[in-house]
Amino acid sequence: MNIPAQSNAIVMTLDAGGTNFVFSAIQNGNEIVRPVHQPANAHDLTLCLEGMIGGFRAVVSQLGRPADAISFAFPGPADYKNGIIGDLGNLPAFRGGVALGPMLEQLFGIPVFINNDGDLFALGEASYGFLPWLNEVLREAGQPKRYANLIGVTLGTGFGGGMVAAGKLLEGDTDAAGEVWLLRNGINPKTYAEENTCARALVRGYNHRSGKTLALQAFDIYQIATGAANGDKQAALDAFDELGQALGEALADMITIVDGPVVIGGGLAASWKLFFPAMLKRLNGIYEEPAQSKVRRLESSVFGLENPTDLHAFLNSSSPRMIAVPFTDQTVRYDPVKKLGVGVSKLGTSRAVALGAYTFALQKLIDQ
């Protein structure tokens, strides 16, 4: 996955939440310090930046030698290539453009790389999580197919994502590749995909169907849907079904461009049993042309990989055969079945983001 087989580079990382910042360092894919916690101080830019500097200095004090780079996820909009953060919703102190990357480079004397958490989640899962897992499963099953691309999305407070092609993150020319939340909504085409693929969508969908207006959380809807809590179970199930439909339509658009398997992270990923059926139905659906001929939504068949039965079907759905090479006595293997899989994070979202930041830094250091 474009990671050196042996790299002793030390990369300092930051998990930047709206309330707290958590600092660490990674070497050879492993965390090598005790994480350092600092309040975000989102209301005050000076306090926020001073806390960030102090957090990285606390990490430096634990290292046996100087770090080689700083790399972390930070909310957008941003000019990530130049390390400039724009107007942030959950960090209001960052208004008008803050040259965060250049500041840290000047203070610590090492390269600084910043990117979106959805992008780094996808890169982390491609490098250390879902994609290696999938290819190992194929190897163990005796299947020759290997995947090199990956689509990663996170479902939680919002809808984020990223795309990895042949081990490299698709960054885009304006740092806006993978802004999947802005895909057209498959349920309500007048708005964007996030409005039906996040936690608030579940709550809104449940309240609408149950005829109530309750201050619930997404986990409450999950408990009602699974029978672990009292409430309108059918309304909860229908809310998850609608989320699956919207997610399936968004993923279909992404798969059409990237042509790779999909990994899902974020707080809602654990409820995959409730939304995977509707999602897969959309992914494997059809278009109806004016002449009533049916065209598949995607060229590839898509399988859910978390259910053992579906995973078995994925591994055994190929139909390879040997075909003749014209005008020769040679034959080649041909498998007309195109297939992709969808599963959930193998690392956990936070760890995937951290390892994505680490991988991103290593790749940039190699390219320099």
Distance separating alpha carbons of residues 351 and 12, to the nearest angstrom: 14
| 326 secondary structure, DSSP code | T
Longest alpha-carbon distance in the chain: 75
Domain 121-346 classification at class level: alpha beta
* Per-residue buried b or exposed e for 352-364, using 16+ beta carbons within 10 Å of the residue's own CB: bbbbbbbbbbbbe
Q: Cα–Cα distance between 76 and 243 in angstroms, integer?
A: 24
- State mean pLDDT over 264-280: 97
> What would the two tokens of residue 165 be?
């092609």
What is the average pLDDT value for the chain, to the nearest integer? 92
Write down the residue that tokens 């996808």 correspond to.
122
Three-state DSSP at 79 gives strand
Give the CATH superfamily of 10-115.
Answer: ATPase, nucleotide binding domain (3.30.420.40)
The radius of gyration of the chain's CA atoms, rounded to the nearest angstrom, is 22
Q: pTM of this prediction?
A: 0.92
pLDDT digits (tens, 9 = 90+) for 166-182: 999 999 888 888 899 99
Query: pLDDT digits over 242-258, tens only?
Result: 999 999 999 999 999 99
- Please state whether beta strands 69-73 and 10-16 pair in parallel, antiparallel, or not at all (unpaired): parallel
For residue 3, the number of C-alpha atoms closer than 13 Å in the C-beta half-sphere is 23
Query: How do residues 69-127 score in pLDDT, each as one tens digit?
Result: 999 998 878 899 999 988 776 677 777 789 999 999 999 999 999 999 999 999 999 99
User: For the chain, what are the domain ranges?
Assistant: 10-115, 121-346
Q: How confident is the model at residue 1 (pLDDT cuts 50, 70, 90)?
A: very low
Domains 10-115 and 121-346 share a fold: yes
User: pLDDT digit string (tens) for 206-228?
Assistant: 999 999 887 899 999 999 999 99
